[in-house]
Amino acid sequence: MSTVATLEKSSPPVALPSLTARLIPLIRRKPINDADRHEAAMFVLDTVASAVAGRTTMPGKTVGRWARRQGGSDAGRQAFVIGCISHMLEVDDLHRASVTHPGCVVVPAVLALGRREGAAGHALLDATLHGYEACCRVGMAVGAAHYRIFHNTATCGPFGSAMASAHLLALDDAKALHALGNAGTQSAGFWEFLKTSAMSKHLHAGRAAEAGLVAADLAVDGFTGPPAILEGDCGMFAGMCPDADPDALLAEPDAPWQVHQTSIKPWPSCRHTHPAIDAALALHEQLGGAPVTRVEVETYRAAIDVCDRPDPQTEYNAKFSLQHCVAAALADGFVRFPSFDPESRSRLVGAREKVSVAAAEPFISAYPEAWGARVTVRTADGRQLAVDRAVCSGDPDQKLSESRLLEKADELLRMGGMSASEATRTRDSILGLVGNSRLNESLVPLLLREA
């Protein structure tokens, strides 16, 4: 008997409605107001700015060259490229409870498909809200153990891009269910890349953006997907999530849109380094230039698992190094893009060697709802100073001001080669979506052109 036949014989019938079938109406029934759309527009801007700057990096140029060699201009391919480049610089958004970067997956699909379908502002922003909701809710349900092997953005992201695409394509609930089922069956993405600074993380974002869009496009023509892709005997939870929390998927249906629970990064490094960076920056002010003899970083387990890198040999590894990020913040009083270049990595070798990291309470228990850290320094003159951060800058409970968000976007757009006037037009076009205006037709081609 074939393996397929054995599975069909041994698997009991799926009790409907499935979790995914219940998620779709939960999202579609949530009311949307102008404040929600304005918040979505800010995250679209943050993602676009990250992509504009990201396309100028070496990996970004590599993806661009590849795409131009392939030819064609289908929306799936466009979403793939934009997803890759928006995740290049580690400055895109982060949803704490799901440990996902929803923007680099959802927004590329919305931009590419919205352009093809001629969607206006509200449709684009509403699709963005739907996409963030699906991505983050699935991410909150997969459980903590999933993240130790799998990159949540890659595995949960396809649900977000599929849900956003289903809105733009006006799929009914039945076809949207097929879209999410086939998005979920494409879930993939391992953390193995970090050992060698491989470029896979960018591929994760691009594929997740493309996967959901293609799944929704196929659903238009009746291409079916598994309705119990999450909880089925051979579904995502069974195969990838040893401590899945299915109840989290549909919890608090009347809560604000998940976009309001998403953080925007102020520093260009892995988000797990940010609470320690914030604490170290505060200590820099207190130290007044006094020599430091020892630095202790206490934080939650996931931050240690991903970012315990005492001797980073590449720019990318340095962005995933608690030791380097804290050393830079303490020594310089800032963390910027040049903080990770070869000169800075060489200059900070001695400072990094003084930094030890460990998982500790209360940060272990507070994660993932709160991402916190404590940094303690001992000085040559015998002082001991410590700063705790329960949350980090840019979190929903410590939001960046709108002026700071616009400043970040302008900096990234200018890094990507835009003139001041081009940056202003791009920003105004995206924020104008709240008034239901159409997006500048040249934006997607700009993101795809050679840097």
HEC assignment per residue over 279-306: HHHHHHHHHCCCCEEEEEEEECHHHHHH
pLDDT at 15 over 60: no
HEC assignment per residue over 115-154: HHHCCCHHHHHHHHHHHHHHHHHHHHHCCHHHHHCECHHH
Domains of the chain: 15-263 (1.10.4100.10), 271-392 (3.30.1330.120)
pTM of this prediction? 0.92
Residue type at 375 in one-letter notation: V
Q: What is the CA radius of gyration of the chain?
A: 22
Q: 293-349: per-residue pLDDT in tens?
A: 999 999 999 999 999 999 999 999 999 999 999 999 999 999 999 999 999 999 999
Which SS3 state, helix, strand or coil, does residue 84 take? Answer: helix
Least Cα distance to 184 among 128, 222, 133, 225 occurs for: 225
Termini Cα distance of the chain: 55
Which percentage of the chain shows pLDDT scores above 70? 96
Round to whole Å and give the CA distance between 313 and 317. Answer: 7
Least Cα distance to 300 among 274, 326, 264 occurs for: 274
C-alpha distances in angstroms, 27 versus 21, 137, 147, 301, 306? 11, 10, 25, 32, 32
Task: Look up residue 252 and give its two tokens.
Answer: 């608090």
Least Cα distance to 261 among 434, 126, 34, 96 occurs for: 96
pLDDT at 14 over 60: no
Q: What is the mean pLDDT of the segment spanning 282-302?
A: 96
Please check whether residue 322 is in contact with residue 355, taking contact to mean a CB–CB distance below 8 angstroms: yes
Q: 228-250: per-residue pLDDT in tens?
A: 999 999 999 999 999 999 999 99
Q: 72-89: per-residue pLDDT in tens?
A: 779 999 999 999 999 999
The overall longest dimension of the chain from CA atoms, in Å, is 76
- The DSSP code for 386 is E
Least Cα distance to 104 among 47, 61, 32 occurs for: 47
